[in-house]
Structure 1
Amino acid sequence: MSTDTGETRTRGPYAKTAAVQETILDAATDVFAESGFRAGSIRDIAARADMSEAGVLHHFRSKAALLEGVMRLRDERSLELAPIGDGSGADVVRGLLVLAAHNQANPGIVKLYTTMSAEATSPDHPAHSYFLERYEFVREAIGSAFRDLAEEGLLREGVDPRSAAIATVAQMDGLQVQWLLHPDRIDMAEHLRRFLEALVDIDLEA
């Protein structure tokens, strides 16, 4: 006997819509990573997603909305790996290593981030505000993790939490560029591990 309700009837279409949107965003990630925001087109994204341009625009009203969706999805996936802003100091630091290893296995993500962050230094870029806010959030979250570790006596002597947070972000971003240029010679997770070992006195494998 059927027990179908209005709620269960909507799950199928809703799930299908979410899946289609994720397919579009994955396609947009590839296009923006390869061509940048300005050169990447809705046509290219539609072709990569095996859809029509009208189909893409049905879900995302503009290329700017697509970029917003791409960056939001990237952040959601990143936060699943690294509990930045929501975890103990040790968990946050260990999460950065997990995130670095994940990114190394997904070059499209790294290429997207480096391309967009460089383009977004222009004040008229649609992602300019996003990157300003994101860097502020990440610096504060990592700085808070280092402050927590300092209170527990787990930060190396002489390490300033705020400066360490800025340096950690710079280390991660710089490693990404070097890895894209020399993927066979740069191990992002390993170099980040060595850097963090100089800052914290915790088991990074735990």
Structure 2
Amino acid sequence: MKKRDRANGGRTAGAEYYIPAASLKGVLRHEVRRLLGRMAHAAPAMAADQLPGKIEKHLADLFGSTDSTGKLTVHDIVVTGTPVTVARDSSQTDQPVYTKIDRLTGGSYVSALKRQQEIQGTAVISLELAVKPAADGYFHYIFPLVYVLRRLGAELVPLGGRTVAGLGQFKAPTVNIDCGGETWNIETGPDLSAGNRRQLEVWWEAFAGWCRQ
């Protein structure tokens, strides 16, 4: 999580905490890659040497690559919150101190000690998918995104926090989708309504067909 000045009509209006869109996009891409990998390995007709290229092709279609623009736009997650005091024992400071690890040697160095303030607040994860809704031609993109967002909302995937892997927590009751004049509110927990379960199955079938292409 980062901190920046909040713009207000060209003037600075205090500071705000946020998780950069690039960080969120990295989490989404990583989770979708894992899902595509499981789908590809489950296809018996797919040669092992073809799997990486096929997975990267689908990822580039959705997230973009150095040669193309993806269909997904990811926005910064702005957190409306304040620093919080975390209960610790008497030997610890109010703000935890973390030590960077040298990636080459695996050792730590004192000069890289980092003190971090922990933030708690509310936020919205906002994504935009640039597709034409005609003939349900976008359903195969929805399933992997809903899959990852449900995992984020259920706190199964860390987001933000003190490392590149992320140790922050994000919790949400639903994933809200508005596309083609239709709106869905998909629960993040295990108890899905019958209608949402059927809709997920429709998106899943489209996604499975896309993976076989």
**TM bucket by the smaller chain?**
under 0.3
Structure 1 or 2: larger helix share?
1
RCO higher in 1 or 2 (8 Å CA, sep ≥ 6)? Answer: 1
TM-score for both structures, normalised by structure 1: 0.27
